[in-house]
Chains A and B, each alone.
Chain A
């Protein structure tokens, strides 16, 4: 059954308009990227406005704008509040971003930190986790793009998925991190204005008390503040968010890219600004019972409510919000994963003497290769692959302690950190299959914490923080 809220021709028109805008902006900003630092890290001089917007927009994925209404519809108030706690990842990362910039003014990736802090074995384990997670997230976003564009406009899955991946690849390739951050700013404004406009119009028309009264009469569980499943989701989501942000190069590359003194403020403000987004988007879904709507596909409840309330205008706004959310995450993933592959795999493993020009060319080829690989895997629409992002919770959870302890605790044991990542991932994954998806991140982080703390307390190792300051010449050796 096709529940599309827009016609394919409107979808094509909107998609063409925004695609051309992102590509032109990417091309224009790309002219600033004259050096490798410019291309990979936007010249390491990003200011507060662009820094805040890029952190916020990247964390607003299509999951935030589509799954928050679904969770509100299924788990009620705690579903959307639980989702909004994902903001804690950004808030906790804020002081870390400042410290990363201070400790590693010449750093490029999260891999650089793990290699210099813990040695090559830990580095390779970390790269395995980080690259696997980055590619997994890329695939799940690519698939989400095809599925959402089909659901919103009726455009065929393969066509929608190809367009969104191709557009993001093109402007990321043309402008590197300059293009990613520049487009993120506009996307963050579009997302915020879109959801605020929809929520204001929706509740101005129907009022809070009538909507509450319908929920109390027909779906009282959605108002229950002690729903166990929702509380469990809240806790797992919090840990998953922490692990994802602490380890992923998407966030580290921004810490390196922000001007000195910006990281703390930008991540802190971005976290506070992100907090109301899932609640505002999720609240729309709570109107569905009041509107007497039959919702055959719960993952489409947000767009369906918007279209019901505002007709084509509402559906267009939700399309722009979803398209912006998809692009702002896909471009960041392409840029950050390619940085990891260029710096930690190509340069450090195969070609340490590569010139800046060669590394920049390698970046372009890797962005194209990554997009092509993601496109090929997304093509058959194996939706169970999109679900694999849930079991990566074990992997990302296992990195929380090695990263946090490594940044702040001078005596952290390197072997313990490596073991923490391996044991946390293995036992977290076992818990995922034996207990359930909601414990993967929790068990992964708990095991890793235990191993890192025990080994460090029993066998502390000294570390000189200045060893993290690797010059470009040393890095090439």
Chain B
């Protein structure tokens, strides 16, 4: 039994993952700046 991923599903999955990982990096940078300013790092 097979069910092949369409070109749309294929590209949506990978684009979503790339955007997700990019957002993760940006949020982590934002969080460290916010914690550093608020002296909440440690």
Contacts and interface: CB of A to CB of B under 8 A. Distances in A.
Contacts of B18: 196, 199-200, 203, 276, 280, 283
Interface in A256-306: 259, 269, 272-273, 275-277, 279-280, 283
A192 interface: yes
A277 B17 CA distance: 7
A45 B1 CA distance: 53
Interface stretch (A106-114, A223-231, A461-469): A223-231
Given A47-B41, A208-B14, A277-B21, A185 B4 contact: no
B14 A223 contact: no
A226 B28 contact: no
A213 B7 CA distance: 8
Interface residues of B, number: 31
B35 A48 contact: yes
B24 to A, nearest CB: 4
Contacts of A178: 42
A209 B36 CA distance: 43
A104 to B, nearest CB: 20
| Chain A contact residues, majority secondary structure | helix
Given A192-B24, A283-B17, A209 B11 contact: yes
Contact of B29 (A46, A189, A280, A283): A189
| Chain B contact residues, majority secondary structure | helix
B12 to A, nearest CB: 9
B35 A49 contact: yes
Contacts of A47: 35, 40-42
A311 interface: no
A400 interface: no
A460 B35 CA distance: 45
A224 B28 CA distance: 35
Interface string B17-33: 11111101101110110
Nearest to A200: B18
Given A189-B29, A212-B11, 11 more contacts: A46-B42, A52-B31, A81-B13, A185-B28, A195-B21, A199-B18, A224-B3, A272-B20, A273-B20, A277-B21, A279-B13
23 contacts: A32-B42, A48-B40, A49-B41, A52-B31, A53-B28, A56-B28, A77-B10, A189-B28, A192-B24, A193-B25, A196-B22, A199-B17, A199-B18, A208-B10, A211-B10, A216-B4, A223-B10, A224-B3, A226-B2, A226-B3, A276-B19, A279-B14, A280-B21
Interface of A: 32, 42-43, 45-50, 52-53, 56, 77, 81, 84, 178, 185, 188-189, 192-193, 195-196, 199-200, 203, 208-209, 211-213, 215-216, 220, 223-226, 259, 269, 272-273, 275-277, 279-280, 283
